[in-house]
Amino acid sequence: MEHAGGRVPGPILREPEDTLAPMKKVALVFVLTVFVPSLVLAWLAVRSLRDQQFVLERQQSLLYQGVADSVAREAANLIADHQREFARQVEALLANDKPIEIAGSFDERLRKDWPLAEVGFAVSLDGTCYAPSQLFGSSEAHRFLLDNERFLTSRESVEVYWDSPKSSINLQQAGEKNQKPASGEGSNAPASPATPDSYLSSPPGHAKEQKLARNVEPQQTQSRTSKQAWSKASVSEAEFRQLVGASTEGTVARFLQNKLNVMFWYRSPRDPQIVFGALVNLPRLVEGLSDLVKVEPESLRDEICVALLDDSARVVTKTHPGFQTNWKRPFVATEIGEVLPHWEVAVYLVNPARLTRSAQTLKVTLGLLIGVLVLAIGVGGWLIVLDLKRQLTLARQKTDFVSNVSHELKTPLTSIRMFSELLADGRVSDKEKQRSYFNIITAETARLTRLINNVLDFSRLERGEKKYNIAKCDLLGVVRETVGTYRPHLEAGGFKLECDLPASPLFVNGDRDALAQIVVNLLSNAEKYSGERKEARVEVRRQSQPLAHVEVRVLDRGLGVPKGCEEKIFEQFYRAHDSLSSGIQGSGLGLTLARQIARAHGGDVTYEPREGGGSCFVLRLPASPNSTTNEH
């Protein structure tokens, strides 16, 4: 494709609207199918960023809630183990004596064998209190009887938190004082491990069950619809006999003067009418619970502090000794259950700002990712539009090429026909004119041949069907022969053609005819874009750096190549000076073919601006290392 030139008369010129119409359609399709959906997705993604704080807090709350649940579960299981241990202690005392025989001395014997018992008691379901003794009991026993005797003998109802995992209460059986207690299968089975917030707690009789508020207000709650945090442990007003019902063991908790009292009770199958129980030494129980309060997994230790809170939301023990905060506002918390009502395992953030920073970091990261994705979509769309634009430009150039070729074929044929008819009709008698007409016919025939050859060769190259007969040949001889053949045509057009050729042959491996076509195309290019100074020069020399090669330079004083078009002129159908040099012949394939042929021979054709104005096209081919011949 030539580096300069203009459209010869004949091609149809398009209006700007016709040229832009396809691009407008492409742009509209891109906006509707790609850009607008991308913006909608980006908007939805940006909206989702607003919820990242909540999402992260929710994820962290689930993780930390698991820590609190685990500690609370272990605490409940430890208390259940103590309850089973109490049942074993009772059975051990009853191993050699009847229940009625040890009932009176149960307090002293239990405290002696089981350190967790503060006071031991024994009562019958018909309302008899056997132990502790009112006469011989300790001061703790007297205080215990004062506070609990009427309740344990079922002479009054009190507010209690109770847990009886064996069975529900049968009111009809509980109301009959002399009813035979339940026995048989399962009556002597150990208690099931307790779990937080999930005790079997059916309201006794017609007692009223009260829903109480928790002593803490977790920042993360299961329900966000209610601001009040309600306790899952409910208080019921009932008699002790109602609580026992048909069960064999259980726990009862009640508050006396704002002090929690926890009692275990057990009925032996040896005499189900007698209930043995113990007031638990709470400080000793707490000592065992303190060992369970820990952060697991250990990797969370730098993030959270786990604390055990009593019924007044005071810290009993915590994992971080120096940590201080508002203990009533944990991040998450779990109740231990009815066995320790209003006691909580609470989790606090060691660094509350860290969660906010993490949410901000996540928000920024997602924002950047969204931005990158939107940018990638935009850039991808832009590249698609550029490619479509290039394809449309190429299609337009192909259309121009067809128009140009049509004109290029028509012009020489018209000249050949006209002068042939003049000569055939005998209307030209002057010998000089006849010779001139014959020369014109010959020149136009050669021009037509070159054009057809270029089109055919380009078609073969595009399909990959072009073959070369590679053999060792004298490139200097090819250039000298081609220039000699083309010189009369140039000189007839007023050109001054100079040659600087060495005397010694310069051998290369190549197809002689294909190399000659390169030289012809370069000379034709110099002819068409010569401008007012009709000068051309051909130089051939051997170079040794960087590798041994032969250079053929074709120089002119023509229009030159506009800046930025030095490589574009080698693209198919490209004509840099279409708008400036209307009337310049050419199809836009000459330089394209020259470069493709040269590269097929391991060389290249490049452009350089000529000092003083004009162009310099350089053909470089590797010097022949041997004389082998092959075809590919």
Tens digit of each residue's pLDDT (9 = 90 or more) over 403-451: 666 656 666 777 788 878 878 888 878 888 888 878 778 877 877 776 7
Max mean pLDDT among 214-223, 454-463, 579-588 falls in 214-223
Q: Tell me what pLDDT residue 438 has.
A: 83
> Which tens digits make up the pLDDT trace of 608-630?
998 888 899 999 999 987 544 44
Instruction: Give the residue carrying structure tokens 């962290």.
Output: 60
Report the C-alpha gap between 598 and 620 in whole angstroms: 8
Q: Which CATH code fits 467-631?
A: 3.30.565.10
Looking at the DSSP bridge assignments, the partners of residue 344 are: 309, 335
pLDDT at 31 over 80: no
> Which tens digits make up the pLDDT trace of 309-339?
999 999 999 999 999 999 999 999 999 988 8
Token pair of 278, please? 């113990």
pLDDT at 589 over 60: yes
- Domain locations in the chain as residue ranges: 55-288, 467-631
Token pair of 136, please? 């011989």
502-534 exposure pattern, b = at least 16 Cβ within 10 A, e = fewer: eeeebbbbbbbebbbbbbbbbbbbbbbbbbeeb
- According to DSSP, residue 33 is labeled I
Percent of the chain with pLDDT over 70: 78
The H-or-E segment that residue 19 falls in is helix 16-30
